Amino acid sequence: AEMRGRIKEDEAAPPAPDGPFAYYLRHRVGGQHPIFCRKPRIGAGELVMLDADAASKGKPFFQIGGAAHSPDHARLAWSSDEAGSEYFSIRVRDLASGADLPGIVERAEGRVVWTADSSAFYYVALDDNHRPHRVLRHRVGTDQSADECVFEENDPRWFMSVERTRSRRFAVVALHDHDSAEAHLLDLADPHARPRLVRPRAPGLRYDVEHHGERLIIRTNADGAEDFKLVEAPLSAPDQWRDLAPYCAGRMIVDVAVFADRLVRLERVDALPRIVIGDLSGGEDHVIAFDEANPELERASMG
């Protein structure tokens, strides 16, 4: 009761525009799970795509793993764990009827990335030790046994996830161990895409990838940049890196977001966070500084 008294129970996330709709999630007073919604960007009328409170009724355990709408706005892929096993089951919902389609993808990590034509999605499968070890492509309407493995990692020291670039051009198979990373790109416009390596793993090398036009923008600790720097590489040669925001001692680049014309960095300088908005056409950076620590900004993701 004390915890509920200190939080806003009917909290809602800011709507994220995509095509003709704005997508968001909200909570209801007394509820325990999110409600995934959308509404037209022009006009009125909310569509509840998934009410996780309703989906949890009568179940001894229920946890949402993730939800992602298809690029054509016709379907919602969503996942849940109903046994407390940390294996998530992925279902696909037809948003016109509100009904889930036949077929469930089992033993998944929970998040999905749709292909550009909305016919399939990528997901990470978990092994018997709950380790994410394979990325598979599932075509909507087919049985899970027909899913195609596009990437597999057999070294138990490495973990993986599949993410989408902000441009929506690529899915990124992101791998990491305790001090190193590796990334592979999957072209979401290619229904038969094979992963393309950005740069081979090396001890101590960490990097993550975003996309802009015909280049990649990469945050990395390469070449002794212990607090990270930004580099760019052409799509035609993703391992050929050139400094974009060179390493600066005492400045830690925490996160990066790439937009059509802007590059936004979340940095920490002298233990204080700041946001740097850069002009990708070559203009000057604009700095938004804070004169005190901001825990909410530090926890925020710009992805």
Collapsing DSSP to helix, strand or coil, 213 comes out as coil
* In the block, residue with structure tokens 């416009």: 189
Pairing relation of β-strands 229-234 and 242-245?
Answer: antiparallel
**Structural contact between residues 262 and 279, judged by C-beta atoms closer than 8 angstroms:** yes
Quote the CA–CA distance of 96 and 74 in Å, as a whole number: 7
CA dihedral 20, 89, 156, 225 (to 10 degrees): 20
**Confidence (pLDDT) at 10:** 81
**Confidence (pLDDT) at 284:** 86
**Confidence (pLDDT) at 165:** 97
**77 bridge partner residues:** 68, 92
**Confidence (pLDDT) at 80:** 98
pLDDT band (50, 70, 90) for residue 298: low
How does pLDDT run across 269-295, given as a tens digit for each residue?
988 999 999 998 877 899 998 877 666
Q: Average pLDDT of 173-196?
A: 97
Q: Average pLDDT of 134-143?
A: 97
Token duo for residue 119: 């016919």
For 158-246, list the strands marked E by DSSP.
Answer: 159-164, 170-176, 181-187, 196-197, 207-212, 215-220, 229-234, 242-245
Collapsing DSSP to helix, strand or coil, 272 comes out as strand
Indicate whether 300 pLDDT > 60. no
pTM for the predicted model, two decimal places: 0.92
Between CA 162 and CA 171, with CA 165 as vertex, the angle to 5 degrees is: 40
C-alpha separations of 205 from 55, 128, 239, 263, 293 in Å: 43, 29, 13, 23, 29
| Average of per-residue pLDDT values in the chain | 94
The single-letter DSSP state of residue 54 is H
Beta-carbon contacts of residue 146 (< 8 Å; ≥ 6 apart): 139
Indicate whether 181 pLDDT > 60. yes
Q: Average pLDDT of 29-38?
A: 94
DSSP per-residue string spanning 107-135: EEEEEEEE-TTSSEEEEEEE-TTS-EEEE
Quote the CA–CA distance of 253 and 243 in Å, as a whole number: 14
62 compared with 5, residue with greater pLDDT: 62
**Confidence (pLDDT) at 296:** 63
Give the strands of the sheet with 215-220, arranged side by side: 207-212, 215-220, 229-234, 242-245
